[in-house]
Amino acid sequence: MTATRHERRESVKQDELAKVMYCGVCGKVVNHDGMPLFYRVRVQRYGLDVNALKRQQGLTMMMSGHHALARIMGPDEDMATRMSDHEVTVCESCSHDTTMMGVLAAAWKDEDENGGEEPIASQD
């Protein structure tokens, strides 16, 4: 699982803007602070399959710790399942007040520096 780069510019028509123009954090219209910027944040929650992870870890141990060999020899099971998928609007003001938005902004900055081709984080 990696942070992924999306299209940089995607226009929003009036009908779509009406659906996303209120901040999910403060509940105010997105430009209430005079800033004509807002975020749309996609939040996906995953549940790990602990038993599948243990099986793969056991196979890795049987292969003397060789992850790549265990990956090839293993059943390539699903290790995690998406439990929910939501998009939320965050106004510019709340994005400055919310620590998580700062963390996400740093990840996006790293992604930009990597050219969007290298994963920022992975499970390896």
Binding footprint of Zn ion on the chain (CB under 5 A): 23, 25-26, 91, 94
User: Is 37 or 107 the residue whose CB approaches Zn ion more closely?
Assistant: 37
User: Is 31 or 116 the residue whose CB approaches Zn ion more closely?
Assistant: 31
Least distance to Zn ion, CB of residue 41, Å: 12
Least distance to Zn ion, CB of residue 56, Å: 41
How far apart are the C-alpha atoms of 82 and 45, rounded to whole Å? 6
Least distance to Zn ion, CB of residue 4, Å: 25
User: Is 41 or 69 the residue whose CB approaches Zn ion more closely?
Assistant: 41
User: What are the Cα distances from residue 9, in Å, to 5, 6, 12, 42, 51?
Assistant: 12, 9, 10, 16, 41
Least distance to Zn ion, CB of residue 117, Å: 33
User: Is 26 or 63 the residue whose CB approaches Zn ion more closely?
Assistant: 26
Calculated CA dihedral for residues 102, 26, 46, 67, nearest 10 degrees? 0
Report residue 26 as tokens. Answer: 């403060």
> Would the CA dihedral through 11, 16, 18, 24 be positive or negative?
negative
